[in-house]
Structure 1
Amino acid sequence: MAPNTLPDDQLNVIILITESPSQNGYIESLINAYIRAGHTVICDAHNFFFSNHTPDFIHIHWPERLYKWLSIEGIKKTDIHQTIKNRLAWYKSRNVKIIYTIHNLQPHGSHTNTEKDIYKTVLNHADILLHHCNKSIELVQKIYPFAQDKKNVVCPHGDYLIHYRNIPQLDARKKYNIPPEKIVTLNFGTQKPYKNTNLINEAFDQLKIDSKFLFIAGRYQNPGKNALAKLYYRFLSMVAQKFGSPKKKVLHKAIPTEEIPYLLNSADIVFLGQEHGLNSGLIALAATYSKPVVCPNIGCFKESIKEWQHASYQAGNAADAANALNKIYDKVLDNKKRNTAFDNTKWLADSSWDKHVERIPLVSDS
């Protein structure tokens, strides 16, 4: 979007994002879109706490960045909630508008009441709540009724073209020793309990398809500093890789950004097994690589891919998941017979980061 298409009061606003570019690609893509739209972007949560500059907007994504994922000297853990509250009030007193993109409904992993309170504080101070789907608005307002008084805006999750590479499928499969004739179902990401690896395996085992192949890639959830837990997870990975089924491959390791194109290009289908959740970047990643998606009907999942090739199932129901996989397998087999690929041109156009930024009401009061 060219900067001169913006309203006069929306030209060149200054936005402080409490994140920095990372391997994920989401934040860097958003920053680039903000800049293309003519805005000035300042990054990093340290600026949120210590800068004396007054931007037009603060854009918060994951509240954990302000209290858990950031090393801050001089602020005690027992004081962090009040410090965040005071800092938000300081910005509000200077007519800075707070934008909060709601990626999840509650803090990541196990969490304390203080962490829940910090989430509520961020929501309470926000002027604009950005959601990746309409269902998110409903779910957030059910938990936090005061969110009805905020400006709620739907901005669908953007693409992952920033790290996209088109690698021939044969080359990608050679890297992982996957036979070229297989129909590969990929489950990718940190293997956490709620992502339900057991259901993925159970659903896959119910498929009556000779060419089926399951590829699970991603490290186990960080066991923390417990040395025994680390050894246990490493042992599980070694066993899975050494004695795995000829129809399955397990790659339990942290996947660097430069390897992600190999994973996605090796696959035919992307499968998500979550029991619960609001959003998943894996859906947008799959669509970016023209891979159909099989996912549970939870949170924003189904709505996020309504314009893309997908099949959904009841969360936790392995038989329903197997039926959904079968539907997509039929489409993949048909494409392979005709030597065609799924066309994601429309999805990419609708999910561009420029359109994402266009939807955000960046109107400064200054």
Structure 2
Amino acid sequence: MKVLLTSNANNPYITELVEGLAAKVEIVNSVTEFWNSEAMFDVIHIQWPEELFKWLAPSKQQLIEFKNRMIMWRSRGAKIVVTRHNELPNKADAERFKELYDFSYSTADAVVHLGEYSLENLVSRGSGTLNSLIPHHIYTSYPNFVDRKEARKELGIKEDAKVILCFGKIRNKEEKEFIFNAFSKINIKKKYLLIPGFFERHSFKKHPVRKISIRVKHILRKMFSDQWLGFKFVHHRKVQFFFNAADVVLIPRLENLTSGVIYLSLAFNKYIVGPANGNITEVLRAFDFPTFNVSDEESVVAAIEKGLSANTSSTISEKDKERFLLSYSIKQHIDLYTTLTQ
């Protein structure tokens, strides 16, 4: 079986999935091949439709070209699979992608859902495609050899602090306000907020004053406040310092269908607190983690305080992890491909 997975994303979800699938099928991982290849593939698996357009909203002409290309692949006998990571991209101009997403889901032979909510949500719209539930896997490629003491020393955080980690890029003003409002209301001593993806990364050459100003704010906060606010990119090897320094991971995604940070937190056996929406709810409840209503301030604070008061050093059950393991995801993908191509 030959599979084209249309993603070049520097994302461990993709790299780990491709590596696992490569042991079972012949797989090509490329956006360019989708548009230009003359090869024959049994399955064309699209991850994020917008990645086929360099993450930008396609023009009307580009949409026509996309539809024609999909027809061409079908004429060669390929089956089309689309993974539903989002209802729409997490962008300010999300509605500009609606036609692309609607067409992708409605014309696919199968849609992969990362959670029950996504599956039920799409099926309720009358989708006639094969809908397959394959949970997002727990990441496997991140180094994890530093302990809590070493991690906190590296980041300059006191041993007795109660650390709340918000990992990943903070995408908008609403998420920032949500985090700081919740943090200010938490009634626990020695609380500490850790957000490595808070500040935008600016070119010194293009924005020298802004770059210096943000750096100064960052240094002062680390020295004189109960917050560590950093910059977007954290190197793969450095991720372990942030998670191993944390007591609780807070998911601030207010409208997302899912969040990859959950599966990164599980890789480090971290206690997670998140919103009761999308696929996020079912994953947190599977591990008995607290959820909150984003519009109910009391429920948000109560959930975080519960997490900070819990014995977060206890190991998460390996049995509970089974359906989120990479090996399970690989098997489910292979089973889906086989079903479509028989």
TM over 0.5: yes
SS across alignment from 2:22:
helix
More moved, 303-312 vs 54-63? 303-312
Preserved contact between residue 18 and residue 61 of structure 1 (Cα < 8 Å): yes
Displacement, 1:58? 0.7
More moved, 245-254 vs 178-187? 245-254
The corresponding residue for 2:25 is: 39
Q: Distance in 2 between matches of 1:231 and 1:314?
A: 39
AA of the residue aligned to 1:57? V
Preserved contact between residue 55 and residue 96 of structure 1 (Cα < 8 Å): yes
Q: Distance in 2 between matches of 1:362 and 1:284?
A: 24
The corresponding residue for 2:67 is: 85
The corresponding residue for 1:69 is: 55
CA separation of 1:114/1:296 partners in 2, compared to 1, >3 Å: closer, same or farther? Answer: closer
The corresponding residue for 1:305 is: 284
Displacement, 1:262? 1.3
Where in structure 1 are there 5+ consecutive unaligned residues?
1-12, 71-75
Preserved contact between residue 158 and residue 356 of structure 1 (Cα < 8 Å): yes
Q: Does 1:341 align with 2:323?
A: no
Name which of 113, 116, 125 aligns with 2:98. Answer: 116
Name which of 230, 236, 251 aligns with 1:272. Answer: 251
Name which of 17, 22, 44 aligns with 1:30. Answer: 17
The corresponding residue for 1:362 is: 337
Q: Distance in 2 between matches of 1:238 and 1:303?
A: 41
Q: Distance in 2 between matches of 1:104 and 1:121?
A: 14
SS across alignment from 2:322:
helix
Report the aligned-residue RMSD. Answer: 2.6
What percent identity do the matched residue pairs reach? Answer: 22
The corresponding residue for 1:99 is: 81
CA separation of 1:211/1:112 partners in 2, compared to 1, >3 Å: closer, same or farther? Answer: closer
More moved, 286-295 vs 214-223? 214-223
Name which of 107, 129, 137 aligns with 1:150. Answer: 129
Q: Distance in 2 between matches of 1:113 and 1:207?
A: 36
Displacement, 1:113? 5.3
Q: Does 1:20 align with 2:2?
A: no
Where in structure 2 are there 5+ consecutive unaligned residues?
none
CA separation of 1:176/1:235 partners in 2, compared to 1, >3 Å: closer, same or farther? Answer: same
More moved, 231-240 vs 248-257? 231-240
For residues 197-223 of structure 1, give each alpha carbon's deviation from its aligned partner in whole angstroms, at most 9, with x where no partner exists: 222122122222113211111154678
Given the two structures, how large is their TM-score scaled by the length of structure 2? 0.89
AA of the residue aligned to 1:14? K
Preserved contact between residue 200 and residue 318 of structure 1 (Cα < 8 Å): no
Give the number of aligned pairs.
336
Q: Distance in 2 between matches of 1:83 and 1:263?
A: 43
CA separation of 1:60/1:168 partners in 2, compared to 1, >3 Å: closer, same or farther? Answer: same
Q: Distance in 2 between matches of 1:58 and 1:231?
A: 47
Q: Which runs of 4+ in 1 moved over 6 A?
A: none
